[in-house]
Structure 1
Amino acid sequence: MAPKSDNTEAIVLNYVNEQNRPLNSQNVADALQKYNLKKAGIQKALDSLADNGKISFKEYGKQKIYIARQDQFDIPNSEELNQMKEENAKLQEQLEEQRKAIRKLEGEIRTLQSNLTLEQIREKEAQLVKEVKEMENKLAKLRGGVTLVKPEDRMAVEEMFLQKLSQWRKRKRMLRDIWDPIMENSPKNLKEFKEELGIEYDEDVGVSLQSFSDLLQRGKKPKGGR
């Protein structure tokens, strides 16, 4: 049920005085929806308040702008204004100090949240103890001469390694057979020609076929050795 007209005027007057800024009827209607007031009733209340001199208004074409009467407010003198400015400056300083304190506390909270809890520390400790024990067992087996890789697995890996080395040598030889005659009859600089075609030697990328061959030889035990 909508408020009575006198109650509507009281609500509208109170709102206009509280806002103390230029308002049109739509501004007031939007703000007072919680009172279940219709725009037509608000418009009527605004006009009645203006006619009775309780609020001021001005017309801009078809638009009416309403504002609280300024003579009802105490207007501070220059000394009071200066005092208010000083108080406002002090309040701003206090506000900034509070903000800094809040930021500091938030930083401390983030730091605490990033730290492990006692339960998490214990879980981490248990995990590390388990990993250390596993590594110590593995080290003990290695020191005792236990073979951790089965002979057949080792042979399979070596066989695959030999195949890859063989393919490497074959492809390297094929490239040389084609590339060397081209360079013998080419007037271009070797480095520039390689860059133009996007060709790189093993040495250009820091690898060596011989070093991989030597690696395989070092992995083999000499006959009669332990």
Structure 2
Amino acid sequence: VVVSSKFPSPISLCSLPSSSSPKFFPRISSSSTARQSAMAPKSDSPEAIVLKFVNQQNRPLNSQIVADSLQKDNLKKTAVQKALDTLVDTGKISFKEYGKQKIYIARQDQFEIPNAEELAQIKDDNAMLQQKLGEQKKATAEVEAEIKALKSNLTLDEIRVEEAVLKKEVKEMEEKLLKMRGGAALVKPEERKAVAEMFNDRLSQWRKRKRMFKDLWDAITENSPKDLKEFKEELGIEYDEDVGVSLQSFSDLQQPANKRLRSK
């Protein structure tokens, strides 16, 4: 729940941990009241900075937390501790002792406590703000999505570069097509021969390995009681036909190629 700074939530000092017998120094005696009416510390003094921080936080704090939070104000821990002690002595803040640990807290009597009607109004305001926040998040997400889509598009310069590359490719393809239509040889005889020899070598290796596997498989499964199909699946073995290839179909391609090579 978002609570207006006009009505900060009161903090019960009794809710602090009680691992040891706390000593509470509320500083609300008549002498303390007189000290509270004394002149407030200068706004740029360590006491004023620490007091402002403690009141803004309105929660239990120790000197280390205060010192860490006020490093941006160039206040060292010794200065913070001195300011806290001064504020306690002048009755501007309260504290509890837990053994050697001191817990400081803003005086609760300086805050206005909202009544039931004001709390209800705060809840309504909070609900309205939450709704507006949701709408803003949705609008932000839509804008971010639009920006992402725009970034994925090519810039004008990138389009021009891409156009030049494509035009070059089209020109090269058109020139190649003209040569093919004119009957020009696009592959040199020595290149064709090298490709054919490599193709024949790969087919020979294929036949050799296929034969080696068959001999080995027959020897293993000759006296096996297992179903051969299930055994093959169990071992993860795939035949050429299982993956949609055929040695014979490639061998058929080899014959015309060899004839052309011999004719050359």
Q: Please classify the TM superposition score into its range, dividing by the shorter chain length.
A: 0.7 to 0.9
Shift of 1:115: 0.2
Q: 1:96 aligns with which of 114, 134, 141?
A: 134
Residue 133 of structure 1 is matched in structure 2 by 171
> Cα deviations across residues 174-216 of structure 1 (Å, max 9, x unaligned)?
777x579859974656835973888766555544443333223
Aligned to 1:151: 189
Could you tell me how far apart the structure 2 residues matched to 1:189 and 1:27 are? 75
In structure 2, C-alpha distance between the alignment counterparts of 1:9 and 1:180, rounded to whole Å: 91
Give the distance between the partners of 1:173 and 1:39, measured in 2 at CA: 85
Moved more, 118-127 or 202-211: 202-211
Q: Give the 3 Å change call, closer, same or farther, for CA 81–142 of structure 1 in structure 2.
A: same
Cα distance in 2 for partners of 1:44, 1:198 equals: 78
Q: What CA distance in whole angstroms lies between the structure 1 residues aligned with 2:218 and 2:96? A: 99
In the alignment, residue 191 of structure 1 is paired with which amino acid?
L
C-alpha distance in structure 1 between counterparts of 2:62 and 2:218, whole Å: 93
Is residue 113 of structure 2 the alignment partner of residue 53 of structure 1? no
Change (3 A) 1:146 1:23: same
Q: How well do the aligned residues superpose, as a CA RMSD in angstroms?
A: 3.5
Residue pair 2:60, 2:103 contacting (<8 A) in 1 also? yes
Match of 1:191 among 224, 228, 231: 228
2:80 is matched with 42
Aligned residues: 216
Check 1:207–1:188 CA distance in 2 against 1; reply closer, same or farther (3 A cut).
farther
1:77 matched residue in structure 2: 115
Query: 1:224 matched to which residue of 2?
Result: none
> 1:117 aligned to 155, 173, 180, which one?
155
Structure 2 contact 67–80 (Cα < 8 Å) conserved: yes
Q: How far, CA to CA, are the matches of 1:80 and 1:182 in structure 2?
A: 92
Q: Name the TM-score, length of structure 1 as normaliser.
A: 0.75
CA distance in 1, matches of 2:73, 2:236: 80
| Pairwise CA distance, 1:19 | 2.2
Distance (whole Å) between structure 1 residues aligned to residue 90 and residue 57 of structure 2: 19
Instruction: Find the aligned partners of 1:39 and 1:181 in 2 and give their Cα distance.
Output: 86
Residue of structure 2 in register with 1:12 after alignment: 50
Q: Which has the higher contact order (CA 8 A, sep 6+)?
A: 2
Q: TM-score, normalised by structure 2?
A: 0.65
